[in-house]
Amino acid sequence: MRRRLRDQAGFTLVELLVVIIILSLLVGLVGPRLFGHVGKSKQAAARAQIEIFGGALDAYRLDVGTYPNTSQGLNALVKNPGASNWNGPYHKKNEIPPDPWDHAYKYACCPGSHDEYDLWSEGSDGAPGGDGESADVNSWEVAKKKTQ
């Protein structure tokens, strides 16, 4: 009976520790690179949403004659702010979605500081400026990249 127990195949504690160490090293080396791509994809999603809002704002201006003012904000794209020629909604959803980091988009108009209107997301930190995933994504830079 004891002979059968000794002859059974299995892993030793040392073998299991070696495998765990190798897996930990792989996760430590590969993990940060994968998480870096997540931040870039959120930046790309914010740029795409700003472009979609830009098209909706242009359609609003064609109907109403002006862009929504700062106090009306982006909500004017889904709910009539009292404009007589409003023919919306101009955005497919019934509400304005937040940016990829669950912050509200910022909007200033008539005029904005950089263009006829300014639309921006303040990135993952929700504060102006920043680098990487915390960097701002804005309509005036999206428009420049589109024309280049």
Q: What is the CATH number of the domain that holds 28?
A: 3.30.700.10
Q: What is the pLDDT of residue 79?
A: 93
Which of 76, 148, 144 has the alpha carbon at shortest distance from 110? Answer: 76
Q: What is the pLDDT of residue 105?
A: 93
105 lies in a domain? yes
Q: How far is CA 56 from the centre of its chain?
A: 18
- Report the number of distinct structural domains present in the chain: 1
Distance CA 127, CA 141 (A): 18
Q: What is the pLDDT of residue 3?
A: 56
Please say whether the beta carbons of 53 and 105 come within 8 A.
yes
- Supply the range of the domain harboring residue 58: 13-147
Q: What is the pLDDT of residue 65?
A: 92
1 lies in a domain? no
4 lies in a domain? no
Q: What is the pLDDT of residue 132?
A: 76
2 lies in a domain? no
Q: What is the pLDDT of residue 51?
A: 92
6 lies in a domain? no
Other C-beta atoms closer than 10 Å to the C-beta of 79 total 14
Which of 130, 108, 109, 121 has the alpha carbon at shortest distance from 48? Answer: 121
Q: How far is CA 129 from the centre of its chain?
A: 15
39 lies in a domain? yes
Distance CA 84, CA 96 (A): 21
Q: List the structure tokens of 133.
A: 């995933």
pLDDT tens-place values along the chain, 148 residues long: 555 555 567 778 888 899 999 888 888 877 766 665 666 788 889 999 999 999 999 999 999 999 999 999 999 999 999 888 999 899 888 889 999 999 999 999 988 888 899 999 988 888 888 777 788 888 888 765 655 5
Residue 24 identity (one-letter amino acid)? S
Q: What is the pLDDT of residue 39?
A: 62
